[in-house]
Structure 1
Amino acid sequence: MSAASSMTLDQDDLEDKATIPDGPTYDPMQVSLETSEHPQHISSLRKWLAVVIISSSALCVTCSSSVALFTEESVSKEFGVSHIVTILAISLFIEGLGLGPLLVGPLSEVYGRNIVYRVSYSLFFMCAFPVAFAPNVYVYLIFRFVMGFCGAAFLSVAGGSVSDLFSDDTVANPMALYTISPFIGPVLGPLISGLINQNLYWRWTFRFQAMWIFSQLIALYLLVPETYVPVLLKRKAYRMRISTGNPAYWAPLDKQDKHLMHAIAVSCYKPFQLMIFDRMALLLNLWTSLILGILYLAFQAFPIIFQRGHGFSMRATGMTFLGIGLGMVLSISSQPYWNKLFRREAAKHGGEAPPETRLIMGQLGGILVPIGLFWLAFTTYPGIHWIVPIIGSVPFGAGIYFVFTSTFTYLVTAYRPIAASAMAANSAMRSSFAAVFPLFAGAMYDKLGTVGATALLAGLTTVMAPLPFIFHRIGPRLRKNSRFTIS
């Protein structure tokens, strides 16, 4: 049973009585969930089906961010704008993804997960049409931003659904599936975009995307149950009041003095307060932001490397991103090893491993990312076979998974009292980096060349690589002195 479902009334509240005018007096009665009613006790098939749908919805959202890549040239010609303006279709979408969690996080804690999923994904679907049928570049870019904002629920709220459905002992594998989905999405986007735009009109890219979004929306409505325990308790209390005629049944959410606007205001300033006053959170956020920025910069760099350097077609260039995707898939296959490692560390510390244990995975990721980038940098010459730089992107993709999984789990466990704000801070910063990096990619590669530009990025990740090693060693001391973390 969750902590929310075991909340009790204050002593003063217990002395109050619920009354009906000219009728009997009732003792307040708090409802609780039966074991069979708890989301962790529904069948494994239904739980995994829900996780797969939530994860594929997150994949669809992030795929939408990069699917605009190979539409840029056609959009530029049709609307009479420069190439840098068309890149904004990706940048604005990502910025919407970063800002959306500041709103949907508080909403999910008041109204539950499902209503947020359904409303946000319905709006996400509706906004796909103005993009696909945009009469001018202004409508096109505005609704790309709104699409990102609406789809953000699956980068902030969805992780809560996964943890609602599974106990701490069994959540690692479903959480790993959910964690990798938003990072496979951007890699899948250029592949889909290249296949469509090789032979079809650019608007078909977004028409196809709308059809995919619609299928996900139907699955969300039909197959994903509400999992947020406080909302389930509130609904049960309402049913009990209606069926018995007794108004004294209550749930903890009924008694909480929820001010939605205040919650939204807190969710907006708390993440930035955390980054200003806690250097450990700031540096970890900066690390993940740099890596995500490089991933999105690659959407502009790979066409330069493979289309211009190796003469690839649009479709073939889209397929070059499969190396990054393969690295991510290979890395998630190592999850059983990490689960065993975390259990062993937990046994050494009385059943609960310190948060710094999670950074061990980040240490491997911190090494793999610069290795992959340096490999890619020095094999981009046209005289070197094209498969060599693609192989070099495999450790880069694997490192991305290890870095993000490690950092996310560390932020949630180390900053448990304000875990939502810690994740919102990370989301806002990394989305800002990912939005900006593609805008200067072309100029940087023209100025420095494919070797110099990629090596510069590899050097920056090398500078940041020691962070998980440092925080693994001194993290407990830093947490002890921080007002935001658990000691």
Structure 2
Amino acid sequence: MEVVYRESFVGKLLFRYKRKLESETLDGSFAANSTTSSTTKNWDQKGKTKIIIDWNGVSDPANPQNWPFLAKLLVTFELSLLQIAVYMCTAIYTPGVDQIMEEFQIGHTLSMLPLTTFVIGYGIGTMFFSPLSEDPRIGRTNVYIVTLFFYVVLQIPIALSRNISQLSGLRFAAGVFASTPLAVIGASFSDIFDFKYMPLSMGIWGIVSFAGPSMGPFFGSILVVKGGWRWAFWFTLILSGICFFVLILFLPETNGDAILYQKYKCIKARYEYQDFDIKCSAFHVLPRSFDEAITEIIWRPIIITLEEPVVLLINLYTSLVYAVLYLWFELFPIVYLEVHHFSLIQMGATYLSFVCGVVLGVIPYLYYLYINYTQKFIRKEEVYPEVFIPTSIAGNILMTAGIFLVGWTSSPKIHWFVPLIGAALFGASEVINFQSLLNYLGMSFPRYMASAFASNNLIRSSVGGVFPLFGRNLYKNLSTREFPVGWGSSVLGFISLLMCSIPILFYANGKKLRAASRYSGL
């Protein structure tokens, strides 16, 4: 009998997962080829042979950790494309807020509400969809595809919205379904990359994650000028639709437990009426019932946030970084439209300074990781999560310097290029801060990585998402004639300086905090 597993087109091309399940021999043994699963057998009191479905040794090619490099590269590209598409479309409409204000007859604060609801939406969505991806009965690929489908469909009514209530509500729903890649992609990378190389792969994730929001206003400004604000969402429909079909055709399942569970179901169906008691090694992550599974995956991120001081403090810190990130969508229009009198497209192009900073920041960061993390793993030396903290402290210094530099060089008497240097410094700090702390979070809670990332995304999205609603008032109320965003930026800069105490605390007491945790794997 031949069993065909559900798989992507790339799986059929690269791995040839389609296999024949060999018949059992006369002595009652169970045979399986190299990609089906290895088995452990013993006899119970009723005389049934117990069979445990597991990997066929450490070199089993069906294990995502053992996939060919080309396959891992393709998966990385697909998930990065999805990540940048979602992040880029977060603020893609913001260059058109003046058109929205005029068409809907609303004020500036309300015109920024669709950005806030979208960001809060994907913060809430991760609480549901990210932990679902940890369940072997569901897997990661199914969650990616189903949520992306609804996200794509929602772009149509968003583009056709007739008032701010419709636009804000639909953007919230779209944000919920756009949430999956924001927290799950990190876990997907950990599925396919060896632990010693995982932080390096996360660096790739960092580039697309933080370059995306900056690219959104650039493309949005072009679309708004050429076709109006609605075209920002038609473009989102096209881009996310392309991602949807790419994922359907080419994205294999990366969750090892989900792959084993799929094989378990196929083998159990094949030998259902024979004298075998078939179990799966993936059962260790399954609650006893589906109701208990739903309860656990919904509440686990909340419990981790409330009970783990490491998670709570990292969530607080990244919330600040997120808040400053989304305040740039208020700061740059003030600086470059009102002070330097740029055109809309020229102003949109200034956001590319963040992209430059992200790329320049990730290079020394990855080099540091390779020397202080990967090579130690290769030499089989003991490595603790605190290895990521020095880069976080350096990132905090860059972030604080970038905020102050932008604030006090944004003046009609100072050349327009100088604030872009500060923005690039913030872009570099952004990727270094996030990657350092999220790697620290993932290494401290490896079994519950998706849940820890989901709780982080909820807190930082909820906090960061509301800042655009009052960001303009923050800058305007504290502005002076010579420095319109100086004192507003200084408020954020001083808070950033105080937040440096968090990575310093982790560096000094991280081992004690993790030792007291019931979720930490170290």
Fold similarity call, TM over 0.5: yes
Specify which of 35, 52, 55 is matched with residue 30 of structure 1.
Answer: 52
What is the rounded CA distance, in whole Å, between the counterparts of 1:314 and 1:338 in structure 2?
Answer: 39
Deviation at 1:201, TM superposition (A): 1.7
Question: What SS does the corresponding residue of 1:157 show, helix, strand or coil?
Answer: helix
Instruction: Determine if the alignment matches structure 1 residue 204 to structure 2 residue 231.
Output: yes
Alignment partner, residue 97 of structure 2: 72
Deviation at 1:102, TM superposition (A): 1.1
Matches within 5 A, 1:252-331: 252-253=281-282, 256-331=286-361
Matches within 5 A, 1:137-216: 137-216=164-243
Deviation at 1:301, TM superposition (A): 1.1
What is the rounded CA distance, in whole Å, between the counterparts of 1:134 and 1:341 in structure 2?
Answer: 51
Question: What SS does the corresponding residue of 1:333 show, helix, strand or coil?
Answer: helix
Instruction: Determine if the alignment matches structure 1 residue 251 to structure 2 residue 276.
Output: no
Specify which of 488, 496, 502 is matched with residue 453 of structure 1.
Answer: 488
Contact in 1 for aligned 2:196/2:378 (Cα 8 Å): no
Alignment partner, residue 362 of structure 2: 332
Q: What's the CA shift string for 1:393-428, capped at 9, x where partnerless?
A: 111110111110011011122234543333222111
Specify which of 372, 375, 380 is matched with residue 341 of structure 1.
Answer: 372
Identify which range, 200-209 or 397-406, moves more after superposition. 200-209
Distance 1:85-1:38 versus aligned 2 partners, 3 A rule: same
What is the rounded CA distance, in whole Å, between the counterparts of 1:184 and 1:375 in structure 2?
Answer: 20
Alignment TM-score, normalising by the size of structure 1: 0.90
Alignment partner, residue 20 of structure 2: none
Matches within 5 A, 1:369-388: 369-388=399-418
Q: Unpaired runs of 5+ in structure 1?
A: 18-24
Letter in 1 for 2:370: N
Alignment partner, residue 474 of structure 1: 509
Deviation at 1:67, TM superposition (A): 0.8
Question: What SS does the corresponding residue of 1:227 show, helix, strand or coil?
Answer: coil
Deviation at 1:16, TM superposition (A): 6.8
Question: What SS does the corresponding residue of 1:378 show, helix, strand or coil?
Answer: helix
Distance 1:157-1:447 versus aligned 2 partners, 3 A rule: same
Alignment partner, residue 20 of structure 1: none
Contact in 1 for aligned 2:39/2:51 (Cα 8 Å): no
Letter in 2 for 1:182: S
Distance 1:377-1:279 versus aligned 2 partners, 3 A rule: same
Could you say which structure has the higher helix fraction? 1
Alignment partner, residue 100 of structure 1: 125
Deviation at 1:215, TM superposition (A): 0.7
Contact in 2 for aligned 1:131/1:144 (Cα 8 Å): yes
What is the rounded CA distance, in whole Å, between the counterparts of 1:48 and 1:479 in structure 2?
Answer: 33
What is the rounded CA distance, in whole Å, between the counterparts of 1:420 and 1:392 in structure 2?
Answer: 33
Letter in 2 for 1:403: N
Matches within 5 A, 1:219-230: 219-230=246-257
Distance 1:94-1:196 versus aligned 2 partners, 3 A rule: same
Alignment partner, residue 16 of structure 2: none
Instruction: Determine if the alignment matches structure 1 residue 47 to structure 2 residue 72.
Output: yes
Identify which range, 191-200 or 135-144, moves more after superposition. 135-144
Identity of aligned residues (%): 28
Deviation at 1:71, TM superposition (A): 2.1
Distance 1:396-1:257 versus aligned 2 partners, 3 A rule: closer
Alignment partner, residue 405 of structure 1: 435
Deviation at 1:272, TM superposition (A): 3.7
Question: What SS does the corresponding residue of 2:226 show, helix, strand or coil?
Answer: coil
Contact in 1 for aligned 2:309/2:513 (Cα 8 Å): no
Distance 1:48-1:305 versus aligned 2 partners, 3 A rule: same
Matches within 5 A, 1:351-390: 351-390=381-420
What is the rounded CA distance, in whole Å, between the counterparts of 2:38 and 2:469 in structure 1?
Answer: 50
What is the rounded CA distance, in whole Å, between the counterparts of 2:317 and 2:272 in structure 1?
Answer: 56
Question: What SS does the corresponding residue of 1:29 show, helix, strand or coil?
Answer: strand
Letter in 2 for 1:230: D
Deviation at 1:187, TM superposition (A): 0.9
Contact in 2 for aligned 1:68/1:89 (Cα 8 Å): no
What is the rounded CA distance, in whole Å, between the counterparts of 1:276 and 1:167 in structure 2?
Answer: 30
Contact in 2 for aligned 1:113/1:227 (Cα 8 Å): yes
Q: Unpaired runs of 5+ in structure 2?
A: 1-36, 480-484
Deviation at 1:96, TM superposition (A): 0.9
Deviation at 1:6, TM superposition (A): 9.0
Contact in 2 for aligned 1:101/1:424 (Cα 8 Å): yes
Letter in 1 for 2:92: V
Q: What's the CA shift string for 1:2-32, capped at 9, x where partnerless?
A: xxx89989x9xx6376xxxxxxx85232223
What is the rounded CA distance, in whole Å, between the counterparts of 2:196 and 2:210 in structure 1?
Answer: 25
What is the rounded CA distance, in whole Å, between the counterparts of 2:185 and 2:310 in structure 1?
Answer: 25
Question: What SS does the corresponding residue of 1:116 show, helix, strand or coil?
Answer: helix
Specify which of 370, 394, 409 is matched with residue 424 of structure 2.
Answer: 394
Specify which of 116, 131, 136 is matched with residue 91 of structure 1.
Answer: 116
Specify which of 152, 161, 164 is matched with residue 125 of structure 1.
Answer: 152
Identify which range, 471-480 or 373-382, moves more after superposition. 471-480
Deviation at 1:486, TM superposition (A): 4.8
Question: What SS does the corresponding residue of 1:49 show, helix, strand or coil?
Answer: helix
Q: CA RMSD in A?
A: 2.4
What is the rounded CA distance, in whole Å, between the counterparts of 1:370 and 1:387 in structure 2?
Answer: 19
Deviation at 1:243, TM superposition (A): 4.4
Deviation at 1:287, TM superposition (A): 1.1
Alignment TM-score, normalising by the size of structure 2: 0.85
Deviation at 1:280, TM superposition (A): 3.6
Question: What SS does the corresponding residue of 1:111 show, helix, strand or coil?
Answer: coil
Deviation at 1:180, TM superposition (A): 2.8
Letter in 1 for 2:509: I
Distance 1:387-1:277 versus aligned 2 partners, 3 A rule: same
Contact in 1 for aligned 2:409/2:419 (Cα 8 Å): yes
Distance 1:264-1:99 versus aligned 2 partners, 3 A rule: farther
